[in-house]
Chains A and B, each alone.
Chain A
Amino acid sequence: MIKVKTVFDELETRCPRLGGEVNFRYCLEAAGGLPCSKALICWEHMFPVAEYMSRILTEEEWNRVFAQPGESRLDTILKIAGQAIKGTP
């Protein structure tokens, strides 16, 4: 991901997952250094976030973040538990 400071960085919104206010910079790096998968919807009303993302992400990064259907919470928990028990988190 190309990191560039813009006027968007300090914009704030309420994160429905955290239950608190966050700035755009947080959303940009919330998923292990990549954007939160919900960033497009959370920010679409403020500025053309999809265009912005398409400029800073590689195609592979875009696909990893936005193009895959997500997991349910139980999916995630079972996967993490399986990996942790095997010692491969």
Chain B
Amino acid sequence: MVKKYFLSEDQMPREWYNIAADLPNGMQPPLHPGTGQPCGPDDLAPIFPMPLIEQEVSQERWIKIPEEILDIYRIWRPSPLARAYGFEKVLNAPVKIYFKNEGVSPPGSHKPNTAVAQAYYNKISGIKRICTETGAGQWGSALAFACKFFGIECRVFMVKISFNQKPYRRLMMETWGATCVASPTDQTEAGRKILAENPDSPGSLGVAISEAVEAAVTSQDVPTRYSLGSVLNHVLMHQTIIGLEAKKQMEMAGDYPDVVIGCAGGGSNFAGLAFPFIQDKIHGKKIQVIAAEPSSCPTMTRGPFAYDFGDAVQMTPLLPMYTLGHNFMPPPIHAGGLRYHGMAPLVSQLIKDGLIEPRAYHNLETFKAGIDWARSEGYIPAPETNHAIAAVVEVARQAKEEGKEKTILFNWSGHGLVDLAAYDAYLSGKLTDFALPEEEIKRALKAIEGLPKPK
């Protein structure tokens, strides 16, 4: 019984796969809001180095991975593919489950696959400093790691609430030599404005993005650019090394997946595993490809695809994304999903083309799946990875109901050792999907009843 499938370093893929070359219906470019014309390199040049801009718009199917990047990848790549015999027993369904373990990288997730590439292309473009933002710190720690290996200064704006609550990712960043500051800071106009209004502001991802971008494009002393760890085409392409390795490893196992699953926040780890298999699907293979997202952040499972204005006053570039529509006043209960256009345009396009099936999972079912996983396979998954595991559970249950054998492959995108506070919240019952008791709700709403209704 073979548990793990290893590739030698010589077998590591030498090229990334660019799915833009194979899209059945092409890809609409982002448009400039003023002209309605596609954004050109000049619009992006102050933000990203030119090699990454070229990759962003490339239609070449295969992009060579430079040796300098492969040298760093060798620290943890090729990553193992493993068979989840223990979890199969728990599910007791007619399924074989394989997982690609991206948690073996030094920062513990798939993120360095693009962080290393981005640091390299910045380096050869003469950039000395990279700025970025991070929430809980997964991306920031990956970029800090990558920058260290290319001798680039890394400055991370970490949302203050996470900075204070979760010191371990910050310490990882600092261990790798990055500067990690709690956003909002007094180092940028955007940060100073927020602090002037509220000196105790806990920050937000929006403010941290503003600070990182501003710090990058206004830097006078050192050539500086901004870096993003998800969403963009080149980021997704760098991640395809995951799926390209997995294809070779599935071949070693003498198997091929019926179902490919990844969790999808911004789309990069999902795309990394799935895109090389979607290439097969485009060319006739019958595979089900599932993108699992949080039901609290339903970018893909709510809202039709539309070529929409980015904002109500039409001042921002236009991108094809999932949206409920421009100038549409939704019923209140559905309004929250409107503004989160966080999914990668490539993933959005593939959903539209019917090549990807999005599914949403609630917090509690994802943590239950993660705990079952940890107790049967040993590894503690990152909370995001738990969404993919919840999808595996659902597919296995369906296979059992239908009496069909299925081979499932999913991306185990990262470990949860730095996210144990989330497990604490789940295990202590703080994290819940259950509504408050009716009486509690009535009492709380009554407390604001006497207030004048805002006009």
Q: Do B209 and A80 have beta carbons less than 8 Å apart?
A: yes
A59: B residues at CB distance < 8 A: 454-455
A22: B residues at CB distance < 8 A: 161
Closest CB in chain A relative to B285 CB, distance in Å: 31
B2: CB under 8 A from chain A? no
Q: Do B431 and A12 have beta carbons less than 8 Å apart?
A: yes
Closest CB in chain A relative to B353 CB, distance in Å: 19
Closest CB in chain B relative to A66 CB, distance in Å: 4
Q: Do A12 and B430 have beta carbons less than 8 Å apart?
A: yes
Q: What's the Cα separation between A14 and B193 when bound, in Å? A: 27
With A20-B421, A40-B335, A84-B217 already in contact, the answer to whether A69 and B317 are too (CB < 8 A) is no
B44: A residues at CB distance < 8 A: 78
With A20-B165, A21-B431, A69-B326 already in contact, the answer to whether A47 and B332 are too (CB < 8 A) is no
A12: B residues at CB distance < 8 A: 425, 430-431
Smallest Cβ-Cβ distance to A35: which chain B residue: B336
Interface centre among A2, A30, A50, A84 (most CB of B within 10 A): A84
Q: Do B447 and A4 have beta carbons less than 8 Å apart?
A: yes
With A41-B297, A69-B324, A73-B228 already in contact, the answer to whether A19 and B384 are too (CB < 8 A) is yes
Q: What's the Cα separation between A12 and B436 when bound, in Å? A: 12
Q: Do A55 and B451 have beta carbons less than 8 Å apart?
A: yes
Residues facing B in A1-58 (CB within 8 A) are 2, 4, 6-8, 11-22, 26, 29-33, 36-42, 44-48, 50-58
Q: Do B335 and A26 have beta carbons less than 8 Å apart?
A: no
Encoded as 1 (CB less than 8 Å from any A CB) or 0, chain B from 163 to 199 comes to: 0011000000000000000000000111001100110
Q: Do A79 and B422 have beta carbons less than 8 Å apart?
A: no
B296: A residues at CB distance < 8 A: 13-14, 16, 38, 41-42
Choice from B47, B330, B447 contacting A6 with Cβ under 8 Å: B447
Q: Do B209 and A47 have beta carbons less than 8 Å apart?
A: no
With A19-B136, A89-B188 already in contact, the answer to whether A79 and B316 are too (CB < 8 A) is yes
Q: Do A18 and B383 have beta carbons less than 8 Å apart?
A: no
B138: CB under 8 A from chain A? yes
With A14-B383, A59-B454, A80-B210 already in contact, the answer to whether A67 and B335 are too (CB < 8 A) is yes
With A41-B296, A42-B336, A80-B213 already in contact, the answer to whether A31 and B206 are too (CB < 8 A) is yes
Smallest Cβ-Cβ distance to A66: which chain B residue: B335
Choice from A41, A47, A56 contacting B336 with Cβ under 8 Å: A41
B445: CB under 8 A from chain A? yes
Smallest Cβ-Cβ distance to B309: which chain A residue: A69
Task: Tell me the A residues contacting B by CB distance below 8 Å.
Answer: 2, 4, 6-8, 11-22, 26, 29-33, 36-42, 44-48, 50-59, 61, 66-81, 84-85, 89
Task: Tell me the B residues contacting A by CB distance below 8 Å.
Answer: 30, 39, 43-44, 46-47, 135-138, 159, 161-162, 165-166, 188-190, 193-194, 197-198, 202, 204-207, 209-210, 213-214, 216-218, 226, 228, 230-232, 265-266, 294, 296-298, 308-312, 315-319, 321, 323-330, 332-342, 345, 362-363, 383-384, 419, 421-422, 425, 430-436, 440-441, 443-445, 447-449, 451, 453-455
- What 5 pairs between A and B have smallest CB-CB spacing? A70-B339, A41-B336, A40-B336, A19-B136, A16-B297
